[in-house]
Amino acid sequence: MFRIKEAYPLTDITVYMKIEAPDVAKKAGPGQFIILRADETGERVPFTISEADPAEGTVSIIFQKVGLSTLKLGEKKPGDMIADFVGPLGNVSHLDGYKSACVIGGGLGCAIALPQAKYLSDHGANVDMIAGFRNKDIIILEPQMKSVCDTLTIMTDDGSNGNKGLVTDALKAKIAEGKKYDVVIAIGPPIMMKFVSLLTKEYGIKTIVSLNPIMIDGTGMCGGCRVTVGGERKFACVDGPDFDGHLVDFDELMKRNATYRDIEGECCNLYKMGQQRQSGPSKPSQPEGKES
């Protein structure tokens, strides 16, 4: 069992959680992930490590309450226990040697992009960060991102923060200004990573993406996380999660990720109905937002 040290909302559906897991914390590197079960009847769910503190013996994750397991996990409080917490899994991101980088996060992907940017900055690289959100109300980690980069540009789909547009618009503008990047790192929804990769391919800029396919065991045995990279079958849990963005079949990834979307939504609705029956009559719940 693993004790929750901190847990609090970042937005209406986004939760920050710090878990006591000293063995994981002392070995974790940027880009790696863990798999947890909230309780003994829960499903195995992967989460990228947002921060690991070996001295404190803690690992932090950031997640959105969009599925049944994350709804249940989001109900837990400091002092509560998590049944299983396994990691670090996957390969550490290879970030050494870069002098100029642009790190791009989309929505929840900013929680994963943050340690990448910090590592690059700590090792002498000039780092620009670009973050994309649907609107200003769901912007997360802005102070933390500012602290680990030279410049931070936040774009919103509706322009509610003053910068309307996509992350690709901001990246294109930086390139037009004369920015010369050794590498672009893009982490977020597959559709965002796809179009960042298409843009950087035009300019011949090396691009690394972190993939998030459906995953079960995290050790390469189940085959659930298979992706196509450069025409070859890869398993994100053991071959990744980082891959060359110019070689990833994003259309296949998006199609596979949607396989259980309807079933997941039905499970969430049944769970909410059960919670409402236990707590008494209440107003109908509003449809949940999706990840950015």
134 in a structural domain: yes
- 138 and 248 share a domain? yes
d(CA 134, CA 153): 14
Taking 60 as the threshold, does the pLDDT of residue 101 lie above it?
Answer: yes
Find which of 45-49, 201-205, 265-269 is predicted with most confidence, using mean pLDDT. Answer: 201-205
Q: Are 208 and 183 in contact (CB under 8 A)?
A: yes
* 69: CATH: 2.40.30.10
Taking 60 as the threshold, does the pLDDT of residue 291 lie above it?
Answer: no
- pLDDT, tens digit, for every residue of 221-238? 888 899 999 999 999 999
Provide the domain limits for residue 142: 100-256
- pLDDT, tens digit, for every residue of 30-52? 899 999 999 888 889 999 999 99
Last residue of one domain, picked from the residues 38, 68, 89: 89
- 246 and 107 share a domain? yes
d(CA 136, CA 156): 7
Q: Are 219 and 267 in contact (CB under 8 A)?
A: no
User: pLDDT at position 270, please?
Assistant: 76
- 80 and 46 share a domain? yes
44 in a structural domain: yes
Last residue of one domain, picked from the residues 89, 119, 140: 89
d(CA 140, CA 127): 19
> In percent, how much of the chain has pLDDT > 90?
74
Neighbours of 262 (CB within 10 A): 9
More confident residue, 254 or 273: 254
Characterise 203 by phi-psi region: left (phi > 0), alpha (psi -120 to 50), beta (else): alpha
Taking 60 as the threshold, does the pLDDT of residue 18 lie above it?
Answer: yes
- 113 and 208 share a domain? yes
d(CA 10, CA 24): 24
Last residue of one domain, picked from the residues 89, 122, 148: 89
Neighbours of 174 (CB within 10 A): 17
Number of domains the chain is built from: 2
215 in a structural domain: yes
d(CA 254, CA 78): 35
Taking 90 as the threshold, does the pLDDT of residue 261 lie above it?
Answer: no
d(CA 124, CA 96): 9
- pLDDT, tens digit, for every residue of 48-85? 999 999 999 999 999 988 888 888 899 999 999 999 99
- 47 and 133 share a domain? no
Q: Are 175 and 101 in contact (CB under 8 A)?
A: no
- 225 and 157 share a domain? yes
User: pLDDT at position 216, please?
Assistant: 84
149 in a structural domain: yes
Taking 50 as the threshold, does the pLDDT of residue 292 lie above it?
Answer: no
Which amino acid, one-letter code, is at 188? G
